[in-house]
Chains A and B, each alone.
Chain A
Amino acid sequence: MKILVCLKQVPHKDARLEASGGWIDEGGIKFEINQYDTYALEEALRIKDAGEAEVVVATIGPDRTSQALRTALGMGADRAIQIWDDSLSGADSLTIAKLLAAAAKDESFDLVLMGLMSDDANNSLTGPMLAELLGLPHTTGAMKIELSDGKAQVERELEGGSLQVVDLPLPCLITVQTGLNEVRYASLKGIMQAKKKPLDKKGISDLGLDAAAVASKVTVDKLYVPTKGEGAEILEGSAGEVAQQLVGKIKELGLL
């Protein structure tokens, strides 16, 4: 079994973000592996723990993203692929999917796993796009994956807590929803071993592509803090004072 996990490095959940042009100012902020992708990686590692599997992680991103790959290797992935070229800054999802497809096409993966969406752009696009480009069946938002007899049975999340159960033949691509499993941490031993695991860096031409083939069709003109509507009445004062004001409001509602 050969599994590809695609992951993205995104700003840390607690980072203070400032908009700058069409993106955020990345200076001085911490990054982490996209939450959704950590669940995909964990699922791949569980399959590996339960039997025989090679887990390959791939990302498209600048130098800083090798840290995310090292973390994934420390958690138990076997090798990593990092793809970057400065011209890819601001690339749209289809471009990302084309690069991942080029990197994956000769590797005959049995299973491709990745997060349902990323916590930065929130696009939810790359997974199904990559599946289409690789000619694989796919499903999105998995809350449970069971592999047997060359197929994957997936419980995919719908709305309001309902689920849809689907069967996919392998090879296939599955995007996962948060909460699918409990994600492990990299152990100290794992982190030490990760330093010796292969991390292959590639550029666009190494993938047999040129800039024109991966030109983006979607560009972000502008990122900005939404103009606030009427918004909330903000209570001011010490903890005790705002608590008193709120008690007054709750009384007015007739709930005290």
Chain B
Amino acid sequence: MSKTLIVGEIQKGGLREATLELVAMARGLGGDVVSLVLGSGVSGLAEDLAKKGGGKVLCADDAALENYTADAYASVIRKAIEAESPDLVLFSNTPSGWDVAPKVAAGIDAGIVTDVIRIEKDGDELVFVRRMFNAKFDSQLRVTGSPKLATVQPGALEAYSGSEGGSVEAFDAGSPQSRTTFVETRTAASGGHDLSKAEIIVSGGRGLQKPENFEEVLKPLVEALGAQMGASRPVVDAGWLPHEYQVGSSGQVVTPKLYIAIGISGAIQHLVGMKGSNYIVAINKDADAPIFEVADVGIVADLFDIVPALAAAIGSAKG
């Protein structure tokens, strides 16, 4: 009988949806499910997880765990692994997940796979499926030894919706120490460029090649459509546009009626910011670009030919 340990995550005082996605993954694989909840004053959330399929929920409730630190969280996760001897340990691929999981893996000399979208069974063996090369390729991986660790891409699975009754057990965290000290969390300064209410967004990516092209190539289309301009991360990293233009996991999440992605490959961190748009158009010269998977309509061509033609056609359609 196999056993999966789920490392739960708390966000804004609630269980993170991604944790329930881990429950779905663990339940899908079968075997025992045990969960770990870490934090301060979190017994209610542990109860919540126990009701939502988390199985036996270990509740590490300790003032030292109020804010995430790699040292303290890793030490409690390792204690839970020692206590439960799971075959598989699941984390979410979130800023705390990708910070702590590799530390735990190296500490116990275990194999780990990150940003997994699926785990398949091949007889008794597990096959981990994940993207590589910024989503250009899928890959199948195997891990030797036990336990095996994995971080799972948020949103890759539906959250578990069953309600198997579980139980909560207090888990002694032992007031773990941390060399790193938490100072504060700063939420994004809401700038003047709020994309959340835009009806139409035209976003440009690295394919636009240089900052002037946002003015000369993209802007005429933005104006013809009465749209707002957005961008992928490299555009913002290079300082071509301010951060408030960035769409994606570390920028804004947008849901316009029409989203036009131009010269954007479609890395997962960009997709999570725009895939909820009502209608998506992608213009990219690479027919294999992952952006076409989420698009309703695609144009496989050089953007420098298409975008001016489109701006002109829209101009004349409006008369």
Contacts and interface: CB of A to CB of B under 8 A. Distances in A.
Closest 8 CB pairs of A and B: A161-B188, A217-B111, A179-B237, A232-B298, A232-B295, A129-B106, A137-B179, A165-B183
Contact of B133 (A17, A177, A243, A253): A17
A166 B102 contact: no
Contact of B141 (A19, A165, A221): A221
A56 to B, nearest CB: 21
A246 B236 contact: no
A242 B300 CA distance: 10
A122 B133 contact: yes
Contacts of B109: 94
A137 B99 CA distance: 11
Given A231-B292, A235-B299, A253-B258, A119 B134 contact: yes
A159 to B, nearest CB: 6
A115 interface: no
A167 B106 contact: no
Contacts of A156: 95
16 contacts: A94-B111, A121-B133, A124-B98, A124-B115, A128-B98, A128-B99, A138-B70, A138-B180, A161-B188, A162-B187, A162-B188, A218-B142, A225-B288, A234-B292, A243-B306, A243-B309
Contact of B113 (A138, A169, A218, A225): A218
B275 interface: no
A117 to B, nearest CB: 8
Contact of B140 (A94, A126, A222, A247): A222
B225 interface: yes
Contacts of B133: 11, 17, 24, 119-122
Contacts of A159: 94-95, 249-250
A197 interface: no
Nearest to A139: B180
A131 interface: yes
A95 to B, nearest CB: 10
Interface in B178-230: 178-189, 199-200, 206, 225
A22 B130 CA distance: 13
B132 interface: yes
Contacts of B257: 253, 255
A127 B127 CA distance: 25
Interface of B: 68-71, 74, 94-95, 98-103, 105-107, 109-115, 127, 131-145, 178-189, 199-200, 206, 225, 233-234, 236-237, 239, 243, 246, 249-253, 257-258, 278-282, 287-288, 290, 292-293, 295-301, 305-306, 309-310, 312-314, 317-318
B312 A243 contact: yes
A71 interface: no
A253 B189 CA distance: 33
Contacts of B187: 161-162
A150 interface: no
B132 A120 contact: yes
A51 B136 CA distance: 42
A220 interface: yes
Contacts of B185: 158, 162-165
Interface in A201-226: 217-226
A221 B180 contact: no
B102 A255 contact: no
Contacts of A11: 133
Contact of A122 (B102, B134, B301): B134
Contact of A158 (B95, B100, B234, B279): B95
A140 B98 contact: yes
